[in-house]
Amino acid sequence: MALSFEKITAAEREGFYKTLYHRRDTRREFLNDPVDDEVLIRILDAAHHAPSVGFMQPWDFIIVRDSAIRQQIKDAFETAHKEAAEMFDEERRAQYQNFKLEGIMEAPLGIVITCDRQRTGSVVIGRTANPEMDLYSAVCAVQNLWLSARAENLGVGWVSIIHHQSLKEILGIPEQIVPIAYLCVGHVSHFHEKPELEKAGWLPRMPIDQLIHRDQW
């Protein structure tokens, strides 16, 4: 009808949904094969086209290939992982400790996504009532990257069991920059049919109709 309406066709939509539903959090299945730089730039560019509040594009991307640096990150994970185990009650602690929760050394590279909260100055369209909006924009970039990696048949695992201060020290991230995610990225032997925590019986998938409200909570 109008000039620049680019319709997504049924076949394109199917490709989109197949990608979305087959995305997984990868930990154990990484192969050591290198990731083509061209593919890497494609998934970073997809991240760069996430929505951002006031078009501030607050993200940066650090590609971590050096294995000595990744070993330092792995050590920082181990520290946070041990602290975390102490927080679970005894019953769940053993199960927690048995989960494989990262693939920092197995994946050939890590990607850190950060948020520069001052990128375009202190007043940003859309960040006035809700100052967290720039952080949320950077999270949208994570999800764009994750999905596009799946479209490229690459696995991604978000390592959240790490203190961001450790990441900042290891990678020389400036004080005012906020790390959002450390992502392990690489080719994989396979993708799981279901999320691993679901398969392990840690928690079930919630029925969606329990989550939908109409007009009022």
Strand extents, DSSP E, 22-129: 59-64, 109-116
By CB under 8 A, name the one of 35, 44, 73, 107 that touches a copy of itself. 44
Does residue 211 bind a copy of itself (CB under 8 A)? yes
In terms of C-beta density within 10 A (0-12 exposed, 13-18 middle, 19 or more buried), how is residue 102 classed? buried
In terms of C-beta density within 10 A (0-12 exposed, 13-18 middle, 19 or more buried), how is residue 149 classed? buried
By CB under 8 A, name the one of 104, 142, 184, 185 that touches a copy of itself. 142
For residues 112, 108, 47, 161, the Cα torsion angle rounded to the nearest 10 degrees is: -40
Q: Which residues inside 62-101 make contact with a copy of itself, applying CB under 8 A?
A: 62-66, 69, 80, 83-84, 87-89, 96, 99, 101
Does residue 147 bind a copy of itself (CB under 8 A)? yes
Continuous segment of H or E residues that includes residue 120: none
Does residue 176 bind a copy of itself (CB under 8 A)? no
Does residue 152 bind a copy of itself (CB under 8 A)? yes
Q: How many residues bind a copy of itself (CB under 8 A)?
A: 113
Alpha carbons 164 and 177: distance in angstroms, whole number: 10
Decide if 57 contacts 48 (C-beta within 8 A). yes
Residue 77: CB minimum distance to a copy of itself, A: 9
Does residue 1 bind a copy of itself (CB under 8 A)? yes
The closest of 30, 39, 43 to 190, measured between CA atoms, is 30
By CB under 8 A, name the one of 27, 57, 104, 106 that touches a copy of itself. 57
Does residue 193 bind a copy of itself (CB under 8 A)? yes
Does residue 132 bind a copy of itself (CB under 8 A)? yes
Decide if 58 contacts 139 (C-beta within 8 A). no
By CB under 8 A, name the one of 56, 73, 184, 185 that touches a copy of itself. 56
By CB under 8 A, name the one of 28, 78, 105, 139 that touches a copy of itself. 139
